[in-house]
Amino acid sequence: MRVALVDAGGANLGSVRQALHRLGVEPQLANDADSIRAADRVILPGVSTAAEVMRRLRELDLVNTLRSLQAPLLGICVGMQLLFEHSEEADTPCLGLLPGRVQRLSPAPGVRVPHMGWNRLRPLRGSALTRGIDDGDFAYFVHSYAAPAGEHCVLACDHGSRFSAVVERGNVAGAQFHPERSARVGARLLRNFIEATP
């Protein structure tokens, strides 16, 4: 199993890599089209801004590689937001692998932005990717932008309003929370992603 970890300047690269190590997987850091295309699984991590990661993907000439990928792809946090058509963060056009636009979370009394901390997951439909994750399980979130809970939402989360915590369509999936820092639930999601039959 070749797992490619796309090095697009995402600051959580190291912690995602270590989370995979804990599962016995040795990922390859990849910043070129050939090694990404040769992988059986591709993970796009991201702690940064949507604009920053998209700029880096364009610089590395990886936009079309990711758009035409056949292997299962998992975007994490900003990496998930980039799967959509557009992000409101600095008005950034994204990869467009999933329909929809990423929007800023709205602050309200008692609803602080960034959404930071452990929040409950709400399954909207079943998926091999989220097997073993139950209604009300907690995951760790740190973000100010999110995708609405649209047709491809598998797990939702509520912070002021409802948004997508995990999305999936075909070989393309994303987690808004940080599986690398979400204890048992996060490890389960990563293991499911690695083990699921495409």
Partner 1 sequence: MLSRRIIPCLDVREGRVVKGVRFRDHVDMGGIAELALRYRDEGADELVFYDIGASPQARSVDYRWLQQVSALLDIPFCVAGGIRDVATARAVLHAGADKISINTPALERPALVTELADAFGVQCVVVGIDSIREADGQWRVRSHTGDPDSTRALPLRTLDWVAQTQRLGAGEIVLNCMDSDGVRRGYDIEQLAAVRAICEVPLIASGGAGAVEHFVDAFERADVDGALAASVFHSGALAIGGLKASLRARGIEVRDA
Is 81 a binding residue for partner 1 by CB under 8 A? The answer is no
CA dihedral 164, 150, 196, 43 (to 10 degrees): -60
> What is the rounded distance in angstroms from the CA atom of residue 106 to the CA atom of residue 120?
18
Is 19 a binding residue for partner 1 by CB under 8 A? The answer is yes
Which member of 41, 115, 152, 188 binds partner 1 (CB under 8 A)?
A: 115
Q: What angle do CA 155, 189, 34 make, to 5 degrees?
A: 110
Q: Which stretch binds partner 1 (CB under 8 A): 29-37, 66-74, 167-175, 176-184?
A: 176-184
Q: Is 21 an active-site residue?
A: no
Both tokens of residue 55? 């700029």
> What is the rounded distance in angstroms from the CA atom of residue 37 to the CA atom of residue 70?
8
Q: Is 77 an active-site residue?
A: yes
Is 131 a binding residue for partner 1 by CB under 8 A? The answer is no
Is 88 a binding residue for partner 1 by CB under 8 A? The answer is no
- 61 φ, ψ (degrees, to nearest 5): 60, 45
Using CB under 8 A as the binding criterion, the count of chain residues that bind partner 1 stands at 40
Is 104 a binding residue for partner 1 by CB under 8 A? The answer is no
Catalytic machinery residues: 77, 178, 180
Which stretches of the chain bind partner 1, using CB under 8 A?
Answer: 11-15, 18-19, 21-22, 47-49, 52, 78, 107, 110, 112-120, 138, 140, 142-144, 158-159, 178, 180-184, 186-187
